[in-house]
Amino acid sequence: MSAPLQSRQQILKRIRAATLDCAQDPAMRAEAYAALPRTYTCHGQLSAEDRLQLMIQRLREYDAEVVETTPAALPSTIKAQLAASGRHCFVAPEGLPVEWLAEGFDWKIDRNLATAEIEQTEGVVTAASCGIADSGTIVLHHSADEGRRVLSLLPDWHLIILRASQVVETLPEYFAHCQQPPVLITWISGPSATADIEMTRIKGVHGPRFLQVILVRDESLTAKNDEEMNPDQRPAETGSTKVR
Amino acid sequence: MSQTASSHAELDPCKALPFPMAVLPVLRNPLLRKNVAHAIDVIQAKRGKLVAEKTDWQELRAAASAIRAHALENLGAYLEQFEERCTVAGGTVHWAADADEARRIILDLLRQEKASEVIKIKTMTSAEIQLNPFLEANGVSAFETDLAEIILQLGEQEPSHIVVPALHVNRSQVREIFARRMGLKNLSDDPKELTNAARTYLRQKFLSIPTAISGANFLIAETGSVAVVESEGNGRMCLTLPRTMITLAGIEKVLPRFQDLEVMLQLLARSATGERMNPYTSLWTGVTAGDGPQSFHVVLLDNGRSSILAKPRQRQTLKCIRCAACMNACPVYRQTGGHAYGSVYPGPIGAILTPQLMRMKYARSLPYASSLCGACYEVCPVKINIPEVLLELRAQVVNQERREGDRLFDPMYMGLRIANLLFSRAWLFHAAQRLGRIGLGLFTRKDGWIHSLPSIGAKWTQTRDLRGLPDESFHEWWAKRPQPDEEAL
């Protein structure tokens, strides 16, 4: 038996010996797991509108810029935001809807772009999988319209298109949606930051220094406005989430 | 000339001074104490505010505690499940029984990659196994990428906190380190400018070094995924850009299911930095074609953890999710900072974790580095009863020490043996009282107090006065007292 295998066996043997008093067989373990106390808040209490307002407020507290728009006005809003950024060269995931690629800018579409090429761009536009209002968190599952992880990392300016129907109030509501855990996830709460020097929060270290969010007030929300939200009947997030 | 805030403490528990001696340089360093107190006050205020707004905080703590305890009770099964799922997803899982084996596994992987340089995400576990000096000695330069870790690495200092490792360094000291080591003469001490200097310093390293080392905040048994919680994006850089990724994780880091993160992520950032959520949390599963490192290794480290697991009352130590709330709340840590603990794990959690990882051979002064006030238990998001473990470890230290030959004439143990004798026989006790009254009477002043004693008695009177013994003991008074008077009743 080789040395690495020996260590594996040795460690597992020690663990088994150490947990003789408590380790359970698979059936009992599943039962014990299911019985763990979960009395924390799972479902939010806010109305749809309040939930969106909370999301916007939290994002702004993180120093992210937020603008609201309608589905019809989305392409022009994107164009206006790109122009207002004063930047010209943007990178986009391959699955980004073509109508989002505003004219008059230099677009690089990610078909396996080299890192150096992504590093050259000034900004990135992506979709998102979910927004969590309670903590102002935006979740990327890195599907076709959210792009590879490196895409939303190297450019200094990140524009996220978040649909209002994707916004949940609490973190457990997000997890309730992930029936199949995605293989890649990035939870983003504001632009890159540090507080390592005297606990002063400084925006922008290695990730994008500027986080811009367009919140699209899509129709499913208006229809459901102020109804009691039942998480099981909510529309799924992006359909193309990578799952194994 | 600015006074240096570093005492450059040795963080190897095998070599560290006992806590009461190690704190002395810190207590004489007002700048260091000011830096630590300032940082702690800021974090505590932020944490307090955000915890107060969370109406289900106690329910989240209860859930987190139960999930972590369940994971530990079934650690073998969950680790095997993690290994299986991670392997299916394209990762390779290695097992390291101790620090030495973990270092060798990592070095072998780096040699296979022909790596002479490696970028690192902050990992306390790699500090625990003293990975950087080992790599350096074997011709591999390790570059830390977390801002605080860069400050420490360039300033040749040791971490003093597990979440904000450079909290003992203030902005002008950071400026001095960066100006000297990055050759930036005109750098100001504005944190923004300092942060930018770090960004520029690291950018090329991120883009060019093809191998990275990380720690792990959580391993998910259900999916074989690994989660890393961070703020700056240096983690994302290391997780995304290199060809090869090596994750070093303690065996206790495993969570049964993906969904358990809904509890942990709500507690961790609030407890650690007083934020509703840290800027970036990344989760990945093995290798994903076309996205990120195409070669991924996890090194599971035991290094004393399984021996902690074997003791039911101490097992809870391993529930820790490394948020550092306990050290931020600790009145001892606030005065001493982290270096005095002589370990990469300082504060209350360090006081229980370090001696146990050392199998009670070293760091035996640490269980005493606490007033047992219980603030650590109150803030702990996974409800580790640190005072309970501290007491348990103190009992073990005493049991060990009193059997040691060289402690036979130790004044404390001698005193306790004598006390044991006296207290178990009434006539000896009374005789001792009478003798004590005569003996101590020589030192008792007119005001009834003893202000100074010779020899080992001076250890008491150096810092406090001692009441002289009364002329009559309670026993004597009781025996002599007038018999109860019927009329008085």
Burial of A231: CB neighbours in 10 Å, binned 0-12, 13-18, 19+: middle
Chain B nearest C-alpha distance from A44 (Å): 12
A37 to B302: CB separation less than 8 angstroms, yes or no: no
B286 to A183: CB separation less than 8 angstroms, yes or no: yes
Copy the structure tokens of residue B151.
Answer: 């400050």
Chain B nearest C-alpha distance from A59 (Å): 11
Enumerate the residues of chain B whose CB falls inside 8 A of the CB of residue A206.
Answer: 145, 199, 202-203, 206, 232-234, 236-237
B96 to A148: CB separation less than 8 angstroms, yes or no: no
pLDDT score recorded for residue A2: 56
Whether A16 and chain B come into contact, CB under 8 Å, resolves to yes
Distance of CA A127 to the CA centre of its chain: 9
Chain B nearest C-alpha distance from A147 (Å): 9
Query: How far apart are the C-alpha atoms of A113 and B81, rounded to whole Å?
Result: 36
Choose among A118, A108, A144: nearest CA to A129.
Answer: A144
Round the average pLDDT of chain B to a whole number and report it. Answer: 93
Question: Which residue on chain B is closest to A12 by alpha carbon?
Answer: B76
Distances (CA, A) of B61 to B54, B72, B382: 11, 16, 6
Give the best residue of A7, A13, A206, A209 to mutate against chain B (max B CB count within 10 A): A206
The model's pTM: 0.89
Whether A165 and chain B come into contact, CB under 8 Å, resolves to no
pLDDT score recorded for residue B410: 86
Query: Which residues, including other chains, have CB under 8 Å from residue B71's CB and lie 6 or more apart?
Result: B78, B221, B254, B255, B256
How would you write the pLDDT of chain A (244 residues) with one tens digit per residue? Answer: 456 679 999 999 999 999 999 988 999 999 999 999 999 999 999 999 999 999 999 999 999 999 999 999 999 999 999 999 999 999 999 999 999 999 999 999 999 999 999 999 999 999 999 999 999 999 999 999 999 999 999 999 999 999 999 999 999 999 999 989 999 999 999 998 888 888 888 888 898 999 999 999 996 554 444 444 444 444 444 444 444 4
Domain with CATH 3.40.50.10420 in chain B: 29-307
Whether A32 and chain B come into contact, CB under 8 Å, resolves to yes
pLDDT score recorded for residue B407: 83
- Chain A, residues 60-119, CB within 8 A of chain B, namely 62, 112, 115-116, 119
Question: Which residue on chain B is closest to A190 by alpha carbon?
Answer: B279
Query: How far apart are the C-alpha atoms of B313 and B316, rounded to whole Å?
Result: 7
Q: Which residues of chain B have pLDDT under 50?
A: 1-9
Backbone angles phi and psi of B250, in degrees to 5: -65, 145
CATH fold for domain B29-307: Rossmann fold (3.40.50)
Query: Which residues, including other chains, have CB under 8 Å from residue B435's CB and lie 6 or more apart?
Result: none
Query: How far apart are the C-alpha atoms of A95 and B104, rounded to whole Å?
Result: 43
Give the best residue of B79, B280, B285 to mutate against chain A (max A CB count within 10 A): B280
pLDDT, tens digit, 9 for 90 and up, residues B464-485:
898 888 888 888 899 898 877 6
Asked whether the ipTM of the predicted complex exceeds the cut of 0.95, the reply is: no
Question: Using an 8 Å Cβ cutoff, are B306 and A15 in contact?
Answer: yes
Enumerate the residues of chain B whose CB falls inside 8 A of the CB of residue A174.
Answer: 262
Query: Among A11, A172, A187, whose Cβ lies nearest the Cβ of B97?
Result: A11
A18 to B307: CB separation less than 8 angstroms, yes or no: yes
Question: Using an 8 Å Cβ cutoff, are B167 and B149 in contact?
Answer: no
Query: What is the 3-state secondary structure of chain A?
Result: CCHHHHHHHHHHHHHHHHCCCCCCCHHHHHHHHHCCCCCCCCCCCCCHHHHHHHHHHHHHHCCCEEEEECCCCHHHHHHHHHHHCCCCEEEEECCCCHHHCCCCCEEEEECCCCHHHHHHCCEEEEECCEEEHHHCEEEECCCCCCCCHHHHCCCCEEEEEEEHHHEECCHHHHHHHCCCCECCEEEECCCCEECCCCCCCEECCCCCCEEEEEEECCHHHHHHCCCCCCHHHCCCCCCCCCEC
pLDDT score recorded for residue B2: 38
B231 to A21: CB separation less than 8 angstroms, yes or no: no
pLDDT score recorded for residue B8: 42
Ranges of beta strands (E only) in B138-243 are 141-144, 211-214, 218-220, 225-230
Q: How many CB pairs under 8 A join A and B?
A: 246
What is the set of domains in chain A, with CATH numbers? 48-223 (3.40.50.10420)
